Each structure stands twice: as C-alpha cells, then as structure tokens.
Structure 1
C-alpha cells in the first residue's frame, strides 16, 4: 500500500544535486521564520535563510545546513535552490569557529550598513555550521 503522506523533495546547489528523495516532512528556515511542510501544503515561494533543514523520510531523519536561496512549495513536491548545502560530515567546525570570530569582529568594527549586513549573514552561516557540525 502506498503512503499518501509522501512527496518529493529536491535540494539543488550550484555545484550539485544535493538531495532528491521521497519524504513525509521538511522543516527549514525562511525569511519569515521556520516552516514545516507536509504533502498538500499551499503553493508558496519564499526566501531561504541560513539554517538547518530537517528532512523526514519514511524511516529516517536527516539534517543538513542550507545557506540562502529560494524554496518553491507545490502540493506534491518541494524544490530548494540553495547557495550552499552541506551534510554534517562535510562541515569543519574549527573553520566555522574561526569564521564566527571574523564575522563578530567585522560587525563590531563596521562603519557602514552594507558591511554590517554581510557580516551578520556570515555570522549566521558560521553559527549554523557550528550547530550542525557538533551533532
């Protein structure tokens, strides 16, 4: 018997097809806040912000880090176009800690708004890597 809760998820980054599979739910961070998506969700396109995506397959849950992009939600499939997507084993936590320190310095020493916004995004990416890489 087919599971009527299953829908298709595809995560694409510029350098690879990061993930493609049948899932029952996906949770991720958007510019409007965190969102959980089940089959039959209302169609929506939204902006992705740095955070951890939780992919619930019928028999397993997978975590990955996503950094900026777009999400297209249709009733029976979700497509994520991510600037960068990483599995936990691909993350160098020491490098992420160094990036966090650099970003915090840039925020504290910023003399214009554009530099501060870029530094804040770099800090979010570093914190996401640290959180996921430590799991």
Structure 2
C-alpha cells in the first residue's frame, strides 16, 4: 500500500491509500505499485485509475508531474476531477467550443490550446455516463 496525494495550484488536494495507480504519460500508461522505484515523470491529460484492494476510482487529470519515492506518490496537476464530479452537459459544451475554435484560422499557440481543450473535454466525456 502507498499514499497518493493529488495537488493543484489552487490548493485542491486529495489524499488516499492505494494498492495501484495507472496514469497517462508521454510513453503511454504507466502503472505504479507499492515499493516502485523512485520516479519523476510528466503526465498528460487523461484518466488515472486509482485502485485500493478491488475497488477503483477514475480521475481525469490535466497535464502535470508525477513523483514517487518511499511509497509516497505525489501528482501535481493543474486540475483533477473524479468521474462522479464531472458535469456531462458542461463537458459537451466545452467539446463543442473547442471544435469550433479548431475550425477557425488560428496561430500555432491558439491551435495548441484548442487541441488541449478538445482532449480535456473528450477525456471528461469518456468517463461520464
């Protein structure tokens, strides 16, 4: 068992005891178990599967950094939302806005921001019912 602390710049915080987590990285999904080697890895927008015994929660995260040492995991991200917290209608509207932005002629920075917004919206929608 190990402790996971998720933290945002605004101070939103969640602490849990877990047996396993799987998170999105540049290289694909990385699974962390207790006694994993020390690691610092960037994480991408996506779904984190948090497992304790046989129960699991899904958390949607923004980009950030994951740190693991001595059975202490820290996930520093701009935002995180548990699947049950996500408002499907709001996520659908965000998806529509991002798709509209992508249809416009944008500079590279604006295009990148619109692509990230679409990825966030699609990820949020993928965990709602």
Fold shared by both chains (TM-score > 0.5) = yes
2:29 & 2:54 partners in 1: Cα distance?
23
Tell me how far 1:40 sits from its aligned partner.
Answer: 2.2
2:66 aligns to what SS in structure 1?
strand
TM-score (norm. length: structure 2): 0.90
Q: What's the Cα RMSD here? A: 1.4
Number of equivalent positions: 128
Match of 1:120 in 2: 115
Residue by residue over 1:96-117, the C-alpha shift from the partner in whole angstroms, topping out at 9 and shown as x without a partner, is 1111111112122133111111
1:27 equivalent to 2:25? Answer: no
For 1:86 and 1:21, how far apart are their aligned partners in 2?
14
Q: Does 1:91 align with 2:112?
A: no
TM-score by length of 1: 0.87
1:15 matched residue in structure 2: 11
Structure 2 Cα separation of the partners of residues 41 and 108 of structure 1: 44
Map 1:68-83; keep pairs closer than 5 Å: 68-83=63-78
| Superposition deviation, residue 75 in structure 1 | 4.0
Tell me what 1:3 maps to: none
Moved over 2 A (4+): none
Q: How does 1:102-117 map to 2 (within 5 A)?
A: 102-117=97-112
Q: Does 1:130 find its partner at 2:125?
A: yes
